[in-house]
Amino acid sequence: MNTPAETQQPGSQPAPLGLPIDPRAYARGLSCVHCGLCLPACPTYTSNGNEADSPRGRIQLMLGLADGTVAPTAPAVKHIDLCLDCRACETACPSGVVYHELLEETRAQLRQHSSRINQATGAQLPRRSLSDRAIEWLFLNMLTHPFRLKVSLLAPRLLQKLGIYPLLRKTGLFNILPPGLRKMEQMLPPRGPLWPRRMPERVAAAGSKPGESDKPKVVVAFLPGCVGSVMFARVNQMAVQLLADCGADVVIPRNQGCCGAMHHHAGLHAESVKMARQNIIALEQADFITSTIAGCGAMLREYDVLFRDDASYADRARHFAAKVRDISEVLLQLGLNDFPHPVHETITYHDACHLVHAQKVAAAPRALLAMVKGLKLAPLAESEMCCGAAGTYNLTQPVMATDLAERKVRHIEATACRTCATGNVGCAMHIQSHALQTGRELSVVHPIEILHRARFGS
């Protein structure tokens, strides 16, 4: 088992300069008391037993990188890269260590300063592989633009509709792709519309007449998400229909954009701030701001952190963040409790990291599902453990991501359920794709799909 100190290359001297980590993020690390209570919750540590791949080990490593006592060698950085940023350690930590701030700041600084570090220390931090850079480019330039994503999916969707795509897969043609890009191809859901419809700008509360404005209604701003609006279009439509049926006026402003999570996690601070500003302007007038995508919701909920150094925007961002709720919380708050159509099925539920650990939402989706007549919810072992999707992680770290997906699918199999619900598009695609690849019969759905069926019968 490696300790952080052992990750320094033999004979290497401490780095002559530390990473310029924001003092607030550094202080987050200093609040760790090394108790180790987070270790059993950490997917990477429980997978390989390496202290340097545990939250405690990584915190020491990152503090060392910041103060210059740990050299920023390639093996050291590997432990930072292997972290899923799932934040299970934060849920487990009794000292309230806000681990992700230190991690994200360290990653951003490593990215920004890697050539300076190489020059100053001879550390030879490797350039990211062509495949990793291609994946990042695709994520930042295609997946965060729904129109481009729709265009890029047109050909595969057409081939799927014609029944040719599975045959192409069988020929092994896609095996020539680098592992990350191959994984991306495998994640394409087997079904989906050729050209997902754009959502309307407003859906009035059920029962209201056009132009009616006599009684005050709850206004809910809905963020469909970039990938969500293409891959989860049906789920988004169902969510909006449920919101309106519960008496909310739903607004889906055209001038909103990407939540900025991918840019933020890639260390592109200026870009994520720009996107956050655009969304605050577009959505802030509503009473609640919501999304069906846990990753987007978590990002919206933390916009206040992005603007903490901007006195002109800090208050606005704080008010915005305070209005953000997961879709399950909003529906519960609006009083959704009448489900006339029984669903006679036993399903299980996987807690998406960005819902349970980042947003601390575990009870609301379960409470809604518990009200559906005929539905049974089987408990899932390690339901709060990351499935390995974690944004681009399943593409850049395919080995660990596949191990974690396998672990998740085995736990689902142990429940004997054929359906697993989860509140994040990334988890759904990753678990579903792994089940398909390994020949398991499993359907991964959003809880909204079940609630919609129970409410409307279809």
User: In sequence order, which residues have a C-beta less than 8 Å from that of residue 142 and are 6 or more positions away?
Assistant: 148, 149, 152
CB of 261 to ligand SF4, least distance (A): 15
- DSSP bridge partners of 326: 291
- Are 399 and 156 within 8 A, CB to CB? no
- What is the C-alpha radius of gyration for the chain, rounded to an integer number of angstroms? 22
CB of 423 to ligand SF4, least distance (A): 18
CB of 83 to ligand SF4, least distance (A): 4
Q: Which among 255, 259, 238 has a CA at the least distance from the CA of 143?
A: 259
Choice between 6 and 310, CB closer to ligand SF4: 6
Q: Which among 267, 208, 192 has a CA at the least distance from the CA of 19?
A: 267
Choice between 59 and 259, CB closer to ligand SF4: 59
Choice between 235 and 401, CB closer to ligand SF4: 401
- Determine the Cα angle at 332 with ends 283 and 280, to 5°: 10
Q: Which among 100, 83, 126 has a CA at the least distance from the CA of 393?
A: 83
Choice between 9 and 46, CB closer to ligand SF4: 46
Q: Which two tokens stand for residue 375?
A: 């539905």
Measured CA to CA, the distance from residue 45 to residue 287 in angstroms comes to 41
Choice between 87 and 150, CB closer to ligand SF4: 87
CB of 320 to ligand SF4, least distance (A): 25
CB of 98 to ligand SF4, least distance (A): 10
CB of 394 to ligand SF4, least distance (A): 13
Binding residues vs ligand SF4 (CB under 6 A) = 32-38, 41-44, 55-56, 58, 83-89, 92-93, 95, 97, 99
Choice between 87 and 452, CB closer to ligand SF4: 87
Measured CA to CA, the distance from residue 357 to residue 171 in angstroms comes to 41
Measured CA to CA, the distance from residue 451 to residue 371 in angstroms comes to 9
